[in-house]
Chain A
Amino acid sequence: MTETAAAHPVDPFAAQALNAAEGLDPVDPAYSHVLRIKTLFNAVPIAIAATVLDLMVVREVGGPYGLLTGLAWLLGAIAVVAFPARRAQRWGFKIGEGQLRVARGWLFRTDTIVPFVRVQHIDVGQGPVERWFGLSHLIVHTSGTHNSTVTLPGLRSDLAAAMRETIRRHIQTDFA
């Protein structure tokens, strides 16, 4: 990642800096644990597969045995330990005047605004990992072909329900 101190007066890697600069609220910090566990579930099978490949192929053909295994587990460990907290911090949202704003990512940052009146229907979902941490995700459906669903993860379950009610009220008042 490149240095962008000129664009942002604060350290872009600092927690909350990006969201604060754009007037967004952060998602629940516990979401980083959800991301970490999900990453773990993805990384461990890949690392095991790499180990098996190393054992079965690289050793047989006399290649640098052990390199692939070490690399896979190292990268997996980095992905599990270092990145989830950072990824979680880069999610931001704002319930504004009649609109929901959701921002995500840094290298490729996308900042979506969905006006409540354009919402077709709303889902609040909770996966097993999210349930451990008392989190939910909110999915907003629009009729647009691009962005037909906008997902906002990492919300405390009560907040997600409250947001759903807020949006639902707007839909009702505007189409009553």
Chain B
Amino acid sequence: MSDGSAALSSDAAPADTDADWQRLHPATLALSIVRLGPRTVNFLPALAAIGIAGKWVYVLPALGVFLLLSLAAAWLAWARFRFHVGADEIAIESGIFARQHRTIPFDRIQDVSIEQGLIARALGIAKVGFETGAGGDKKDEARLDSIGLDAAQALRRTIRAHRGGAVPAAVAPVAGEAADAAGAAGEDRLLFAMTPQRLLVAGLFNFSLAALAVVGAAMQLFDNLLPFDFNIFNPVDWFDLAERYGLEQWVTAHRWIAGVGALISLLFIGFASGVLMMVLANWGFRLAREPRALRRTRGLTTRTDVALPVRRVQAAILVTGWLRQRFGWHELRLQSLASDGETEKDHQVVPFGRLAEIDPVLAEIGMARPPAEQPWQHSHRIVALGGFVGAGIAALAGAGTIAFGQPLGWIALGAALLIAAGAWISAHFHGWTEIGEMVAIRSGWLKPKTTLLPFASVQSADLSVDFILRRFGMATLVFGVPGGSALGSHEIPAIPRAVAEALRARILAARTRP
């Protein structure tokens, strides 16, 4: 690796011969070859055009040239990328023609994430991402794609060790003290892990028909390729089966058997895809307490290793479902300054666990659920109005359709009733309560959600009154909290105005302490 770099850097500045500069792992090239596969698809239209033009002779050479050029580009990108780990900063130089030099002081790196895809794991390399907490485009984050796994872990240790005493400002003091106490105690402790049995149970509750569309599309595609002409996911095939056995008469009399077949296949897809997604995402889930951070490793094909500095935690969100709550299962997410990966905005630290397992995790970040006997203050029932308006529109549309002689309108009418009922029931679950320097907000009935928000995390507070709330003397409190959450903004809807003003004053006063 080093001789290659020396040869290449001869055309660059002389200082570049500095041995401290490192390159990405050579296996990265192998990874880019693998990535070529899907990329070739983009080239297919061009190939097709050549083919249609009747010049079939050129198709193969064109493909070859394309692959060669892509490989050359990948090699050039690799050769022109280098990084340098200094005493208190990391420097990255990249770009084939337009060179970019970036320096990131260790002090500014909130977190180092390590991610391994399936092939990367086979090759023993990992993608390293640096969270700097800078707003804006996620694509702009600095990353090393990819270096050896050992090197990645060593780099993370170096940066963590350097970040010793740096204390960010925007954190709950309570959380900080607890963190120090726990941190002094020392080494990594396992807080939570997912066993395969737990994954299975979680997957069953993760019942999802979202995969149905994908499966359906795949079935369409592969239907003709299947060796046998029967698709258990296709209700029509169940009719056909019955017909083939001369059961036509019987089937017309017993249509329910086809219905049952379709239902069973639907259920099967729903449960299977739920389990599959849960296993893929959370296989080998481990949440450990490190001196300053919570560290999470998980994933079957793509393994991720994320550390969440305890002092960066802004809020905790407890989510469950109408059914899983009855079985005592809950999910814990933490909202932090650093976001989780490219898609998720908050960190899932307990995907599926008992409250008794979640409480210790909350304790690590200096939070606690409100005790059972603590009274909750409720939002005004007017919060159901939005649902009622939606139901009203649906009902009007339904009535209109029926008036035009289309019986499908009754479905809309039924849906309107369901929406209204759901909104009315959900309205009863909006509430909030105060626990010390923290406010707990809960909402939802089908998907109950409880947010634990330390006063010190609140950056700004809105008191919103619209023309409807004003008539009831109510106001909605909306809090500005750092770090995004996939579960929406933090707000307490429709509480008495005086109460809202007093609560806002308390929350905003709490932070002015030293």
Contact = CB atoms under 8 A, between A and B. Distances in A.
A2 B489 contact: no
A142 B479 CA distance: 12
B459 A142 contact: yes
Given A2-B471, A143-B482, A112 B460 contact: yes
B504 interface: yes
A17 interface: no
A11 interface: no
B484 interface: yes
A7 B473 contact: yes
Contact of B466 (A109, A114, A147): A109
Contact of A144 (B481, B508, B511): B481
B459 A147 contact: yes
Contacts of A112: 460-463
A118 B467 contact: no
A145 interface: yes
Nearest to A115: B508
11 contacts: A107-B466, A108-B464, A111-B462, A111-B464, A112-B461, A115-B460, A115-B508, A118-B511, A145-B484, A145-B489, A146-B490
B478 interface: yes
Interface string A1-28: 1101001000000000000000000000
A175 B169 contact: yes
A110 interface: yes
Interface string B180-205: 00000000000000000000000000
A74 to B, nearest CB: 25
A45 interface: no
A173 to B, nearest CB: 12
A146 B508 contact: no
Contact of A113 (B460, B466, B489): B460
Nearest to A110: B464
- The interface centre, meaning the residue of B337, B465, B489, B504 with most chain A CB atoms within 10 A of its CB, is B465
Interface residues of A, number: 26
A143 B466 contact: no
B504 A144 contact: no
A30 interface: no
Contacts of B467: 1-2, 107-108
A107 B508 CA distance: 26
A69 interface: no
B460 A118 contact: yes
- The interface centre, meaning the residue of B459, B464, B471, B511 with most chain A CB atoms within 10 A of its CB, is B459
Interface string A93-135: 0000011000000011111111101100000000000000000
A109 B467 CA distance: 8
B470 interface: yes
Given A4-B471, A98-B512, A175-B169, A114 B459 contact: yes
A13 to B, nearest CB: 13
A25 to B, nearest CB: 17
Nearest to A1: B467
A171 to B, nearest CB: 11
Interface in B185-232: none
Nearest to B505: A113
A92 to B, nearest CB: 13
Contacts of A161: none
A150 interface: yes
Interface string B435-462: 0000000000000000000000011111
B511 A117 contact: yes
Contact of B482 (A110, A115, A144): A144
